[in-house]
Amino acid sequence: MRQKTQKIHLTTLGCSKNTYDSEVLLGQLAAHQAEFVEEADQADVIIINTCGFIELAKQESIDAILEAEQIKRDKGDQKVIVCGCLSARYKSQLEKEMPNVDAFFGTEDYDNILRFLNYSRDGAPEFLYEKRFLSTPSHYAFLKIAEGCNHTCAFCAIPLMRGKYRSREMRHIVEEAQMLVDQGVKELIVISQDTTFYGLDIYKRQAIVELLTALEKVDGLEWIRLHYLYPTTVQDELIDLMAGSKKIVPYLDMPVQHITDHMLKAMKRGGKSHRIYNIFQQAREKIKDVTLRTTFIVGHPGETREDFEALKGFIQEMRFDRLGVFTYSHEENTAAFNEEDAVSAEEKAARYAELMQIQQDISLDNNLAKVGRSYRVLIDEVDWSSMVAYGRTGGDSPEIDNEVIISPLVGACNVGDFVDVKIHDATEYELHGKIEG
C-alpha cells in the first residue's frame, strides 16, 4: 500500500557540517516523495538537526526542540524528531527530560530516521550524496570530505559527538563535485573537522593535495574554498598548490585557538607556535592576495596574563583578515572540564572584547586598503527594487565573512554570475563597489 505523503519541516542548527548532513537527509526523504513545508505547524513531522558544541549553541537547540514540542501539543498529531550533535551527546538525558519528542537520533543517522518514518532504503541511490538536496543558493555548495576527529583538544566535545576521523573515498567526493557542478554549482566549500588530516585513515597518507588536484579537474567548477586546516598537518605542498591554482581561492582558514606553546600544550593542540607563525608567513609570501582566517579561545584554564598579552601581540602583528574569538566554556567529558577557570567570567569577557576591538580596527584598515582596486566577485543576491547586488570576493566565505555591496547596479548581473567590481569605499566588514566595464 502506497505510503501517505508526509509533510516534513526540517530545522538545521550549528555548523556547515550540519547543513551538509541535513541536505543529505532531505535528499533521502525527497527520494521517498516526502513533501517539505516552510512552517513547522503545517508539517506531519518536525525534524530538528541540533548543535551541541558550546553552551550557547546547546541552548539554541533546546529552545528549538521546546518550540516543536509546543507546536505538537497545540496540533496533537505530529511527530517530533531530534538528531545531530546535541542528541548524539545527551540522548538518554534528553529522552527523560523531553518525553514529547518521538525519537532521538545521532549524527549521520539517516537509515534509522528513514526507518522510523517507515521509509526503506530500497530503491534509493547507492550513495547518499547522489540525492543531496541543496539548501544553499544553487551557485555554491558545501563538500564534506570527512567526518569526526582524532584530535583531543582539551576544550572540544566534537569527537564525543562525531566520533573518530572517517575520510570519504576520493572517487565519491570527486563524483559528487561533478554532480553538483552539473547542477549549476560554481563554488565548492571543502569542509570537515580537520581538512588536512584527509586520507590518513583510509589511505595511510595525507591525500588533501591529491584530492584538490582531482577537484581542480572538475569541468565547470570555478572556485574551491578550503576550511578547517589544522596546523600540525598543513604541508608546504598544500601552500604551493594553493599559490599556483586557478580554482583554489586564496583563502587560508586555519583555526589555531592560541599562540603560546604553554597554551597550545594546555589545550592539547599539539604543535608549536613557530610552526603556526611559519604557515601564516609562508601563505602570505607565496599566495597572492591571500586572506587569512583563524579563531582563538580566551580564558581557557591555564591562560596567564602573559599568554593573553602574547596572543594580543600576535593578532596585532599578523593583522588577520578574518578572525573569530570565543570565550572558554567547560564542556563535560572534555580534558579541561574539571580544571579551574584561569580567569573570572568578567575577565574572559574583557579579553574577548579587547581582541574583537583590535580586530575591528585591523579589519577596517585591511578593507580600506582595497579601495581603488578591482576584484572578481561572485553574486549571491540581487535586489532589483533597490538596484543593489551583494556578492563575495575569493576572500569571503558565505555567511561568515565580509560582503561586497554593488550599488548603483548598472548592466546585467544575476545570482551566480562572476563580475569584476572596482571598490570605491569600505567599512569594517563590507566593501562597496561598482561593476567595471
Report in angstroms how near the CB of residue 106 gets to ligand SF4 at its nearest.
16
Q: Of residues 194, 321, 380, 396, which one binds ligand SF4 by CB under 6 A? A: 194
106 or 184: whose CB is closer to ligand SF4?
A: 106
Compute, in degrees rounded to 10, the torsion defined by CA atoms 157, 163, 164, 170.
-120
Q: Which stretch binds ligand SF4 (CB under 6 A): 149-157, 284-292, 321-329, 342-350?
A: 149-157
State the minimum distance, in angstroms, from the CB of residue 308 to ligand SF4: 20
| Of positions 16, 193, 196, 294, contacts ligand SF4 by CB under 6 A | 193
Hey, what's the cell of 111? 537509515
| Residue 297 binds to ligand SF4 (criterion: CB under 6 A) | no
Report the distance separating Cα 28 and Cα 9, nearest Å. Answer: 14
Residue 415 — φ and ψ, nearest 5°? -55, 130
Q: Helix 55-75 to helix 85-97 angle, to the nearest 10 degrees?
A: 50
Strand pairing class (79-84; 103-104)? parallel
Site for ligand SF4 in 225-284 (CB under 6 A): 230
Q: Which triple of cell numbers denotes residue 336?
A: 579541561
Closest separation in Å from C-beta 335 to ligand SF4: 10
Taking alpha carbons only, the member of 233, 240, 241 closest to residue 211 is: 241
Candidate list 159, 199, 231, 416; residue touching ligand SF4; CB under 6 A? 159
For the sheet with 291-298, list strands across it.
251-253, 291-298, 322-327
Based on CB atoms, which residue is closest to ligand SF4, 68 or 189?
189
The one segment of 11-19, 150-158, 355-363, 418-426 that binds ligand SF4 by CB under 6 A:
150-158
Cβ proximity of 166 and 120 under 8 Å: no
CB of 68 to ligand SF4, least distance (A): 28
State the cell numbers at 25: 537527509
Report how far residue 28's alpha carbon sits from residue 42's, in angstroms, rounded to the nearest whole number: 21
CA distance 219 to 188: 13
Closest CB to ligand SF4 among residues 161, 426: 161
CA distance 383 to 374: 22
Indicate whether 153 belongs to the interface with ligand SF4 (CB under 6 A). yes
The answer to whether the beta carbons of residues 383 and 228 sit under 8 Å apart is no
**Helices marked H in 322-389:** 345-368
Nearest distance in Å: CB 149, ligand SF4: 3
Question: Is residue 270 left, alpha or beta, with left meaning phi > 0 and alpha meaning psi from -120 to 50?
Answer: left
Least distance from C-beta 154 to ligand SF4, angstroms?
Answer: 9
Count residues contacting ligand SF4 (CB under 6 A)?
Answer: 9
CB of 383 to ligand SF4, least distance (A): 37
Q: How far is the CB of 410 from ligand SF4 (least distance, A)?
A: 44
Phi (first) and psi of residue 343, to 5 degrees: -140, 165
Pick 191 or 419: Cβ nearer ligand SF4: 191
In the numeric block, the cell 580537520 is attached to 194
Q: How far is the CB of 370 from ligand SF4 (least distance, A)?
A: 31
Please pick, from the candidates 158, 211, 310, 342, the single residue that binds ligand SF4 as defined by CB under 6 A: 158
Q: Which of 7, 75, 151, 422 binds ligand SF4 (CB under 6 A)?
A: 151
Question: Given candidates 15, 68, 80, 156, which one binds ligand SF4 under the rule CB under 6 A?
Answer: 156
Supply the minimum distance, in Å, between the C-beta of residue 345 and ligand SF4: 22
Read off φ and ψ for residue 143, nearest 5 degrees: -130, 100
| 8 A C-beta contact, residue 198 and residue 146 | yes
Q: Per CB under 6 A, which region of 58-66, 146-154, 167-175, 361-369 contacts ligand SF4?
A: 146-154
Report how far apart, in Å, the C-alpha atoms of 359 and of each of 28, 90, 114, 315 are.
42, 36, 46, 8
The runs of H, that is alpha helices, within 258-386 are: 261-266, 273-286, 305-318, 345-368
Q: Which is nearer to ligand SF4, 98 or 160 (CB)?
A: 160
Which stretch, 110-118, 152-160, 279-287, 386-394, contacts ligand SF4 (CB under 6 A)? 152-160
Residue 151 identity (one-letter amino acid) = H
DSSP state of 201: T
Spell out, one character per residue from 101 to 140, where the chain touches ligand SF4: x when CB under 6 A holds, - when not.
----------------------------------------
Q: Which is nearer to ligand SF4, 250 or 255 (CB)?
A: 255
Asked if residue 149 binds ligand SF4 (CB under 6 A), the reply is: yes
Binding part of the chain for ligand SF4, among 7-15, 115-123, 155-163, 414-422 by CB under 6 A, reads 155-163
- List contacts with ligand SF4 (CB under 6 A): 149, 151, 153, 156, 158-159, 193-194, 230
